[in-house]
Chains A and B, each alone.
Chain A
Amino acid sequence: MFAYIVKRLLAGMVVVVLISIAVFALFWYGPESPARPVCESKTGGKCTPERLANFEKSLGYDNPIYEEYGKYAKGVFVGRELTIGTQRIDCDAPCLGYSFKNNTLVWDDLVKRMPATVSVAGGGALLYLLLGIPIGVAAARRRGSLTDKVLVSSFLVVSSVPYYLFALLAWIYCTLVFEIPVLGSSGYTPFTDNPWKWATGLLLPWLCLGLFGCTQYTRYTRGAMVEALSEDYIRTAKAKGLPASTVVYRHGLRSALVPVVTVFGIDLGVLLAGTIFTEKIFEIQGIGLWGLNAVVAKDLQVVAATALFGAVVMVISNLVVDLIYSVLDPRVRLS
């Protein structure tokens, strides 16, 4: 088990390194010099070729890419000293570089923004399960009935609306049109400042994520439950004289959860890597919004950091899914 985890983590690190190289190369070989956005912003739009060349030199963009990537990678593990124009900045490990746009160290920003994203993603993902699984089970138990058909078709309608439109409409109606109390005042307050404001401010984003995302969990759960309930061991459980609820939950749902958990692990990873639309619409300063702004501003170091963060989260969530898998299904052997 321990050897398996170590092996998986090592393989995950290879994935993370490859992704960071890809992102680095993308900017390096892009249509525009990576120093140009820095030059434009520092000179107030008067970036002459001479000034650009100076910036390229000071940022190290005149060196070969592997040399610069090497410096970058070294910074992640042991820290480095950055030179921005005439400034010298100590960047301790893990050093993810310096954001010329915000004039801050990237790692510090990442740490600052993480709680907001974790709050949004965690609450939304919890609603995926809390709404999706019970509704899916209910639909599977009444398979073919009117309730089942209404649930399945109405959820199909919800999930065919683009999410950004769904969240935007929710925000407009709750905040601007009806000014619903609690729901109408969304925004992020750190939990440690005021737990009540934290919860109420995030309620609408959670509901948006949860209601939209739970539709597919209902579908997965319903499908997996219909399959599980037709298994021979369900007939055995009934033949023992067990009550219907025990048959459905202890014997049916237990099996149906395995595929649902697999999807959930990956979805949670995607959410933690940044809930871009949700953060943008509800003005939550999380990792998703940070990454989006960085792409617009061509802030290379921040984009690279968000990509790296996303990769790490995905590797970990995949590993956690596999570990949970082996707990749920005793037939799975990790080796």
Chain B
Amino acid sequence: MTQTSTPSTRLDTDDFLVVENLTVEFPTPDGPVRAVNDLSYSVGMGETLGIVGESGSGKSVSSMAVLGLHDMQRTKITGSIRVGGTEVIGLDESGMRKIRGNSAAMIFQDALAALHPFYRVGAQLAEAYVVHHPSASKRDARRRAIEMLDRVGIPQPDKRVDDFPHQFSGGMRQRAMIAMGLINDPSLLIADEPTTALDVTVQAQILDLLQDLQREFNSAVIIITHDLGVVAEMADEVLVMYAGRCVEYGACKELLTHPEMPYTWGLLSSIPDVSADTDARLIPIPGNPPSLLDPPSGCSFHPRCAHTDKVPGALCATTLPELLPGGRGASHLKRCHLANPDEIFARDVLAEIAPDLVEETP
């Protein structure tokens, strides 16, 4: 994560995807909706970035901009997105098509809706292959489709290749979706809530599969989710989004154990823990995500934040905090006015959600 104002060592040439000051705006009859606001991050080969946030926080919108999937007539995009060194903002359609599904691929949630119901799974995979390998014969494409289905763990791939999506189970459909995303060996894979519609055991299988494939292909992966459990398992780095902005960014373990932004605390507090006392309370974040048509003044999170009283003056309501390093090193950034977030987290938040951990912490 880098901001142009705060250059750090992370902005190196090895990063396959570099997003800088990305802003995505949709003009609507009621005024512009700024779905993504001044977002910057980068992902290197072999790395996984987890983007976390509530619905409408701009997770998917920012990732779709990477592949240029927005209707350009209805979207205003500024900033810079470089995929493998190519600037994609302002890139023409034919240039964009060479990247889509080729060097950068995306897999979507709800594979039943994301696969075409009228075409056989194999035909949809082959189509993705042929479009970037125009010289490949039909038989080559089919062989490649079977190979990929086999690779993602579909039993009897040579038979199932001729099935329609509705003949697959939910987990198999998501596997087929992943196979389609990886069929051209992309350097960047964006997984948009890949496990949302699946039951827990299948979720775990799909996540394992994604990890295996990443190791095998050494690709850069962005995993978009609202599930911190998925992030904890998959990501090397985590970016927390709120109301279109990055509010916290850091290495996965660091961020999950020492979160410095009250919104991240809220996300952590609202995760159920299987091993916890069954009487333990789940603490939801009060209120609703803000309207992006009329975002709150100052920090977007302040109307829902329980800790604004710990900031002197009405700073939270008047001034947008910068995304800056907190008290735990230059690579952990937070967008919050709180001066001593670690202390407050240990004293007020951890005590409530995991009292046993507080005693261990000195």
How far is it, in angstroms, between the C-alpha of A232 and the C-alpha of B114 when the chains are bound? 5
A251 interface residue per 8 A CB criterion? yes
Q: Is the pair B131, A240 in contact by a Cβ cutoff of 8 Å?
A: yes
A30 interface residue per 8 A CB criterion? no
When distances are taken between beta carbons in the complex, the residues of chain A under 8 Å from B101 are 239-242
Which of A232, A238, A240 is the most central at the interface, judged by chain B CB atoms within 10 Å of its CB?
A240
- Least Cβ distance of B3 to chain A in Å? 28
A149 interface residue per 8 A CB criterion? no
Question: Which one of A238, A254, A329, A331 contacts B100 once the chains associate, using CB atoms below 8 Å?
Answer: A238
Q: Is the pair B116, A251 in contact by a Cβ cutoff of 8 Å?
A: yes
B106 interface residue per 8 A CB criterion? yes
A157 interface residue per 8 A CB criterion? no
A76 interface residue per 8 A CB criterion? no
Question: Which one of A241, A251, A330, A331 contacts B97 once the chains associate, using CB atoms below 8 Å?
Answer: A241
When distances are taken between beta carbons in the complex, the residues of chain A under 8 Å from B105 are 239
Q: Is the pair A232, B99 in contact by a Cβ cutoff of 8 Å?
A: no
Give the contact-size bracket for chain B: 20 to 34
Question: Which one of B93, B110, B118 contacts A329 once the chains associate, using CB atoms below 8 Å?
Answer: B118
How far is it, in angstroms, between the C-alpha of A330 and the C-alpha of B108 when the chains are bound? 23
Q: Is the pair B67, A239 in contact by a Cβ cutoff of 8 Å?
A: yes
B128 interface residue per 8 A CB criterion? yes
Q: Is the pair A233, B131 in contact by a Cβ cutoff of 8 Å?
A: no
Q: Is the pair B110, A239 in contact by a Cβ cutoff of 8 Å?
A: no
Q: Is the pair A233, B97 in contact by a Cβ cutoff of 8 Å?
A: no
Interface string of A246-287 (1 = CB under 8 A from B): 000001001100000000000000000000000000000000
B355 interface residue per 8 A CB criterion? no
When distances are taken between beta carbons in the complex, the residues of chain B under 8 Å from A236 are 108, 114-116, 180
Q: Is the pair A242, B110 in contact by a Cβ cutoff of 8 Å?
A: no
Which of B97, B164, B180 is the most central at the interface, judged by chain A CB atoms within 10 Å of its CB?
B97
Assuming the A-B contacts A239-B67, A240-B180, are A330 and B118 also in contact, with contact meaning beta carbons closer than 8 angstroms in the complex? yes
A179 interface residue per 8 A CB criterion? no
Given contacts A232-B108, A328-B118, 19 further A-B contacts (CB under 8 A): A235-B69, A235-B114, A236-B114, A238-B69, A239-B69, A239-B106, A240-B100, A240-B128, A240-B131, A240-B180, A241-B97, A241-B101, A241-B131, A241-B132, A244-B93, A330-B117, A330-B164, A331-B164, A331-B166
24 pairs of residues in contact across A and B, judged by CB atoms under 8 Å = A232-B110, A233-B113, A233-B115, A233-B116, A238-B69, A238-B100, A239-B100, A239-B106, A240-B131, A240-B180, A241-B98, A241-B100, A241-B101, A241-B128, A241-B131, A241-B132, A242-B127, A251-B116, A254-B116, A254-B118, A255-B116, A255-B117, A255-B118, A330-B117
